[in-house]
Amino acid sequence: MILVFGQSGQVATEIQRLAPDALCLGRAQADLSDPEACAAVIQANAPHVVINASAYTAVDGAEQEETLATIINGDAPKAMAEACATLRIPLIHISTDYVFDGAGHMPFAPEHMPAPLGAYGRSKLKGEEGVRGAGGTHAILRTSWVFSAHGNNFVKTMLRLGAQRDSLRVVSDQIGGPTPARAIAEGCLTLAQQLRAAPQKSGVYHLSGAPDTSWAEFAREIMVQAGQGCRIEEIPTAAYPTPARRPLNSRLDCSSLSVLGLGRPSWYAGLQDVLSDLKGSR
């Protein structure tokens, strides 16, 4: 049995679609602000593998709520990992490009030294450290710019605003890989299967969509595929200040995915699938 922390989030929703028998827990069943309760849920259910697809994801909000973000993103994964190590079962933990500072133009490799710019990145890095420190079989899956037909994300925001306005100003100097939530879910399930058979594959993996692009170019393609006439005006990050600093370079080196028999998913194809899902849900 696969136990998943997360139920209504983007990745958890896709895991449920791909693995209907997985036990996906929402906040009512497992509140990540109570790490000991999360560990107790694992002990009580004794699953074959655990996937942590839940997190505090409000990047700007974390600047004001760093203590809470650190409990949810740092302490809870540590407690999960320790429980999994005790039961000798694998843990797959989803992390983020925000553990890096976004300097330079080269893709960040899994072994690159983290240097988060803000509270959200610091909280996620603490979670990574806790998972590794527990000493059990694990995979830390870093990803970026997640989108799907579910929840709140850039694609849905662009579609909503694009239907209301003739033009939108979108930053063009942040570069990364938009990643379909479905591809992340598939990656988590692949890791779950392979880690049970080959614990030596434990480690850090990067999974992001290809090709790398800017938010502005991503927004432009959203409008094209959706058939919306909204124009995208490119602006620098400096023209769109936010409480939390965003990394300018979110490129991830995903070459280690070959160990798992995986490659980078096309975000063009992923976007087509999401738009089809959204059209079908109307």
Q: What is the DSSP string of 154-169?
A: HHHHHHHHHTT-SEEE
Nearest-Å Rg of the Cα atoms of the chain is 18
Tell me, rounded to whole angstroms, the distance of Cα 217 from its chain centroid. Answer: 21
Q: What angle do CA 249, 254, 260 make, to 5 degrees?
A: 160
CB–CB of 141/92 below 8 Å? yes
User: 98 an active-site residue?
Assistant: no
Least Cα distance to 272 among 186, 187, 188, 182 occurs for 182
**Could you tell me what percentage of the chain is helix, strand and coil, using 3-state DSSP and rounding each to the nearest 5?**
45, 20, 35
Which residue is catalytic, options 56, 120, 205, 240? 120
Name the burial class of residue 9, with classes exposed (0-12), middle (13-18) and buried (19+) by CB atoms within 10 angstroms of its CB.
Answer: buried
Q: How far is CA 271 from CA 60, 72, 152, in A?
A: 26, 30, 15
How many Å apart are CA 255 and CA 161, to the nearest integer? 35
How many Å apart are CA 157 and CA 211, to the nearest integer? 21
Annotated catalytic residues are: 120
